[in-house]
Amino acid sequence: MVRQIAVYGSYRARLPVRQRYWKKRADGVRQRYWKQTKRKKTVEASGRYEFSGKGKDLYKAVVKAHRIVPKGFVTVSAEKFVEQSEQ
């Protein structure tokens, strides 16, 4: 039997801070690039997951969903979400 559950609201996530820097190319042109730094900042975001699958997979997906912030509305299988988040 396939079940569904939704997880929604605002979440806190720690995201890496990106820094813009200038680099001179081999042909002499200066160009801007973005680089990730080791520093992280706490960001509040809102989003919603809709999970479907077996009960055990739903439980694991809900636990992991509080650490990963979705952008907007995401519908996904609980089994695939758990698989991808473990990598």
Domain boundaries defined on the chain: 3-16+43-86
Number of H helices, E strands in the chain: 2, 3
Task: Using the predicted structure, report yes or no on whether residue 13 has a pLDDT greater than 80.
Answer: no
Whose CA is closest to 13, among 86, 74, 68, 87? 68
pLDDT digits (tens, 9 = 90+) for 15-37: 889 999 999 999 999 999 999 99
What's residue 85's pLDDT?
Answer: 80
Whole-prediction pTM: 0.55
Structure tokens at 64: 């992991």
What's residue 51's pLDDT?
Answer: 92
Task: Using the predicted structure, report yes or no on whether residue 70 has a pLDDT greater than 80.
Answer: no
